[in-house]
Amino acid sequence: MVPLEYYLVVAGIIFTIGMIGVIVARNIIIIFMAIELMLNAANLAMIAFSRNLGSMGGHVMVFMIMTVAAAEAAVGLSIIIALFRNRDSANIDEVNLMKW
């Protein structure tokens, strides 16, 4: 059996990549995808712990996280559509109305 630590390291690396994406990317859709990456890294850690403790709680938690991710994708993508309609661009540097 693969030790728990290996899975946690992989989850940590994927989470870090997602965070770099949120900071560095300019296209709002790619920022959104980086957030999905971070959610998924959390899922992986959850399932690994669940396997190692022999308890099913983590599976239910992942189920809930997937629901939240679906809701977040629906609302977030409609925000992106509204933004694109008003700004005609997917570049977040051009969204500076609230910035002084």
Partner 1 sequence: MELAIFILTSLVAIVAALLVILQRNPIASVMYLVTTFVAQAILFIQLRAAFIAILQVIVYAGAIMVLFLFVIMLLNLRREDFGKDIKLKYKPLAVAFAMVLLIETLVAINASMIPALPGADLSATFGSVQGVGKELFTTYLYPFELTSVLLIVAILGSVVMAKKKL
Q: What is the footprint of partner 1 within residues 18-57 (CB under 8 A)?
A: 18-21, 23-27, 29-30, 32-34, 36-37, 40, 43-44, 47-54, 56-57
Tokens of residue 35, six digits: 């957030």
Shortest distance in whole angstroms from residue 82 CB to partner 1: 5
Q: How far is the CB of 56 from partner 1 (least distance, A)?
A: 5
> CB-based contacts of 56: which residues, under 8 Å, 6+ apart?
50
Question: Is residue 12 a contact residue for partner 1 (CB under 8 A)?
Answer: yes
State how far the Cα of 17 lies from the Cα of 3, in Å rounded to an integer: 22
C-alpha 92/C-alpha 100 separation (Å) is 15
d(CA 77, CA 74): 5
Nearest distance from C-beta of residue 16 to partner 1, angstroms = 5
Does 67 sit near partner 1 (CB under 8 A)?
yes
Euclidean distance between CA atoms 47 and 62, whole angstroms: 8
71 interacts with partner 1 by CB under 8 A: yes
Distance in Å, CB of 99 to partner 1, minimum: 15
Judged by CB under 8 A, does residue 64 bind partner 1? yes
